[in-house]
Amino acid sequence: MMRTRPLKVALLGCGVVGSEVARIMTTHADDLAARIGAPVELAGVAVRRPSKVREGIDPALITTDATALVRRGDIDVAIEVIGGIEPARSLITTAFENGASVVSANKALLAEDGAALHAAAEKYGRDLYYEAAVAGAIPLVRPLRESLAGDKVNRVLGIVNGTTNFILDKMDTSGAGYSEALDEATALGYAEADPTADVEGFDAAAKAAILAGIAFHTRVKIGDVHREGITEVTAADIASARRMGCTVKLLAICERAADGASVTARVHPAMIPLSHPLASVREAYNAVFVEAEAAGQLMFYGPGAGGSPTASAVLGDLVAVCRNKLGESTGPGESAYTRLPVSPMGEVVTRYHISLDVADKPGVLAQVATVFAEQGVSIDTVRQQGKDGEASLVVVTHRAPDAALSGTVEALRKLDTVRGVASIMRVEGE
């Protein structure tokens, strides 16, 4: 069964993930060959800094001209682990044009321009695989695209950013504030020097766009994803969550509307019950909870980032793409036949946990309750706490459109008796 002519692989990028991919391709060459049915050979490695010492990689393979590498014409598979939009996008397209299939770990690009890349792959009859783009090593793209291909996914709820999960978990277990927890994450290498992409939810939003597209067989771009980060989550929010039997997580949430005619995708911190399987996802782990019509509730858990886990996902795709090459076939391409519109955040139906600082005098609750009623928002529970002329009012609403809930908060801010809105957080996973 084994053919002897090796499949040629171009590695585009050789940072943390790329160097690990190259290492495993060398150390596990026999296993990869047995699983593919042919040996795979690293034919070239495109880098920005050719002078850097790269252990285990033949210096003769190193090039700074990535375009020339993918244009050689003898490349079977290009592995793109450069990240960002350009030059990654042009290189992938050039690879397709020149006979190569592509394995990519590039969430930003897939979330920005996935449809065009899929179209190019289809035009040239190539594969585009990207398991590593969402939640690192956790098999997620393939299970959603293939295992659940006979089912109807209604909801995806994911912890898809390890940095923010580490910070929130630290705040939850130690009572630390946001800054303190961020400092610890930075010191331990879980947060980058500039943590913006993680803590402001951009990274999670890209993954939400990819997940929503795959789950609902439609197209969702990162610009369609409502995004809120965790920088305003306070120790008081976490303590409030605890009192409700909840914990706070940054969630990527993709939902099909009840009528099936639209979808939504959003990223924001939310309280989830401690009994929810996602609540026990600690430290920098990721997990994605999927609700499907026939399958019910599934969860996929694992390390969401890091060189080795991401390389594992890349190599799993490499094996699949190589097998397809040998069989002269391609795997499933983009499935976006539903073309469902993406509704804005205001139309998402959700629940709010609102903590108000109010004057400690009679009639305040009545005033507050009236505002909720005027906005058409039904209250689930209210807890009042008074101390020294000050009082706090914690309201948890029933489900309502997000626009009505945020409108309620705006109206509450205008009440004389409301001294401040101490915290607002959505409640999910119930």
Is residue 98 within 8 A of residue 75, CB to CB? The reply is yes
When the beta carbons of 34 and 236 are compared against its own copies, the nearer one is 34
Buried b (16+ CB within 10 A) or exposed e, 65-99: ebeebbbeeebbbbbbbbbeeeebbebbbbbbebb
When the beta carbons of 146 and 380 are compared against its own copies, the nearer one is 146
Buried b (16+ CB within 10 A) or exposed e, 226-259: bbbbbbebebebbebbeebebbbbbbbbbbbbee
8, 71, 72, 152: residue in contact with its own copies (rule CB under 8 A): 152
Considering the complex, what minimum distance in angstroms separates the CB of residue 221 from its own copies? 21
Considering the complex, what minimum distance in angstroms separates the CB of residue 158 from its own copies? 13
Decide if residue 95 touches its own copies (CB under 8 A): no
99, 302, 407, 429: residue in contact with its own copies (rule CB under 8 A): 302
* C-alpha to C-alpha distances, 339 to 220, 283, 334, nearest whole angstrom: 9, 36, 12
**Cβ-based burial of 16 (10 A; exposed 0-12, middle 13-18, buried ≥19):** middle
Return the number of other C-beta atoms located less than 10 Å from residue 410's C-beta: 12
Decide if residue 330 touches its own copies (CB under 8 A): yes
When the beta carbons of 87 and 277 are compared against its own copies, the nearer one is 277
Determine if residue 97 is labeled as part of a ligand binding site: no
Structure tokens given for 182: 């961020």
The site for its own copies, by CB under 8 A, has a size of 58
30-38, 104-112, 198-206, 228-236 -> range binding its own copies (CB under 8 A): 30-38
Decide if residue 262 touches its own copies (CB under 8 A): no
207 is a catalytic site residue: yes
Determine if residue 177 is labeled as part of a ligand binding site: no
Decide if residue 115 touches its own copies (CB under 8 A): no
Structure tokens given for 280: 């026990």
CA 184 to CA 190: how far, in whole Å? 8
62-70, 93-101, 113-121, 301-309 -> range binding its own copies (CB under 8 A): 301-309
Decide if residue 328 touches its own copies (CB under 8 A): yes
Indicate the length of the chain as a whole number: 430
CA 125 to CA 309: how far, in whole Å? 29
Catalytic residue among 170, 207, 221, 249: 207
When the beta carbons of 112 and 172 are compared against its own copies, the nearer one is 172
Residue 283 gets which letter from DSSP? T
6, 87, 277, 344: residue in contact with its own copies (rule CB under 8 A): 277
What backbone torsions phi and psi does residue 258 show, to the nearest 5 degrees? -55, -35
* C-alpha to C-alpha distances, 298 to 255, 289, 301, 350, nearest whole angstrom: 15, 6, 10, 21
Cα 74 to chain centroid, rounded? 34
Decide if residue 297 touches its own copies (CB under 8 A): yes
Determine if residue 246 is labeled as part of a ligand binding site: no
Decide if residue 32 touches its own copies (CB under 8 A): yes
Considering the complex, what minimum distance in angstroms separates the CB of residue 315 from its own copies? 2
Decide if residue 6 touches its own copies (CB under 8 A): no
Q: Which residues are within 8 A (CB) of 183 and not within 5 positions of it... i.e. 6 or more apart?
A: none
When the beta carbons of 112 and 317 are compared against its own copies, the nearer one is 317
329, 370, 378, 381: residue in contact with its own copies (rule CB under 8 A): 329
> Which residues make up each annotated binding site?
12-19, 107, 192
Contact set with its own copies (CB under 8 A): 20, 24, 28, 31-32, 34-35, 131, 137-139, 142-143, 146-152, 217, 277, 280, 292-303, 306, 308-309, 311-320, 323-324, 327-330, 332, 335, 337-338
Could you list the active site residues? 207
> Which residues make up each annotated binding site for NADP(+)?
12-19
